[in-house]
Amino acid sequence: MTLYHRLFDRVLVRTDAERAHELAFTAIRRARPVTHALQSGARRAGRAGGEVEAMGLVFPGVLGLAAGFDKNGVGIDALANLGFGSVEIGTVTAQPQPGNPRPRLARLPRDRAIVNRMGFNNDGAVAVARRLAERRLDMTGRRSGVPLGVNIGKTKVVPEDEAVADYETSAGLLTPYADYLVVNVSSPNTPGLRHLQAVERLEPLLRAVRRRADDVSSTHVPLLVKIAPDLADDDVLAVADLALAVGLDGVVATNTTVSRDGLASPGGAVEAAGGGGLSGPPLRARAQEVTRLLRDRLGPEPTIIGVGGITTVADALARLDAGADLLQGYTGFVYEGPGWARRINRGVARARAEVAA
């Protein structure tokens, strides 16, 4: 058991989950000068993890940080210094919103899982765009250089029939600062959001975001859609067909699940955690199957970012074997600590090198 595991199991599990997140994120940002030096040294020594090319971008490692940890783009470079191959911020909405009432984040330690019903709490697209513009002008020499994903979603108070315009607003403000853009229609914590995954609603939305992104950028910014693991197989395949028809650059598979099947945690703990999206190892099998379905339908070209239940190097390799090109994690980071991303990326790089040798 590592020092972090002892700290987590004996101290952090007794701390309110959202408060623990805030404290940990503050510590990560404050440690940025130190972690920058360590990461730079690892790269010079060739120990940073194997590079991956996807969507016309170069990722220094296959595993990136999923959206949800840094909702407002306040710690991108500090997080990248921990060994992530990319950082995806958000979900960002066109209008600022406080999210759902607290408590809205809970842990299920026996399952190494998290339940969240955050509700897209964020500063809004105008504020985040301003922050990203200032980061672009940062001349400290400490920028990470990893690809930046920006995940956008629907403002809660906006009716479904006005969702397209809402997403267009966010795309217009944030695309100029994104290396890739993700349309989130799969969080279970915004009423009506998952209805947008239906192909007849999703197609006009994706086409509108694509047009708006092209309008505000002189270069092609890759566009992906993030889908739920709770879609039926036929609906997953329908999204894949739509991605090909619209010309999306890829799919992020998957978001959190509303299912509570197969948990090891006692019923009282699950009930106390409340509603919302569950992430972590209980999601692994379904996320893996959705990845496989998508790859079989999409063919070799569109990028699949595999996320959901990835904790170990073996998990990562299995998701890549299922058809993912890139990976993301969030819950594994929470439970495994600040060295987790570097361990996964190095482990995957070593495994791939052994196969190639």
The verdict on whether residue 254 carries a ligand-binding annotation is yes
Residue 187 annotated in active site: yes
Matching residue, tokens 């623990």: 20
3-state secondary structure of 206: helix
Matching residue, tokens 């911020």: 89
| Dihedral sign of CA atoms 255, 260, 263, 268 in order | positive
Catalytic hit among 187, 217, 218, 259: 187
Which residues partner with 52 through β-bridges?
59
The verdict on whether residue 117 carries a ligand-binding annotation is yes
**CB-CB contact of 118 with 34 (8 Å):** no
The verdict on whether residue 70 carries a ligand-binding annotation is yes
The verdict on whether residue 71 carries a ligand-binding annotation is yes
Strands 223-227 and 180-184: parallel
The verdict on whether residue 333 carries a ligand-binding annotation is no
CA angle 153, 156, 162 (to 5 degrees): 75
The verdict on whether residue 139 carries a ligand-binding annotation is no
Q: How many CA atoms lie within 13 A of 251 on its CB side?
A: 33
Matching residue, tokens 């998508």: 294
The verdict on whether residue 26 carries a ligand-binding annotation is no
The verdict on whether residue 345 carries a ligand-binding annotation is no
The verdict on whether residue 25 carries a ligand-binding annotation is no
The verdict on whether residue 8 carries a ligand-binding annotation is no
- Cite the annotated binding site for FMN by residue number: 67-71, 91, 151, 184, 226, 254, 280, 309, 330-331
Q: Which residues are known catalytic residues?
A: 187
- Cite the annotated binding site for substrate by residue number: 71, 116-120, 184, 189, 255-256
- Cite the annotated binding site by residue number: 67-71, 91, 116-120, 151, 184, 189, 226, 254-256, 280, 309, 330-331
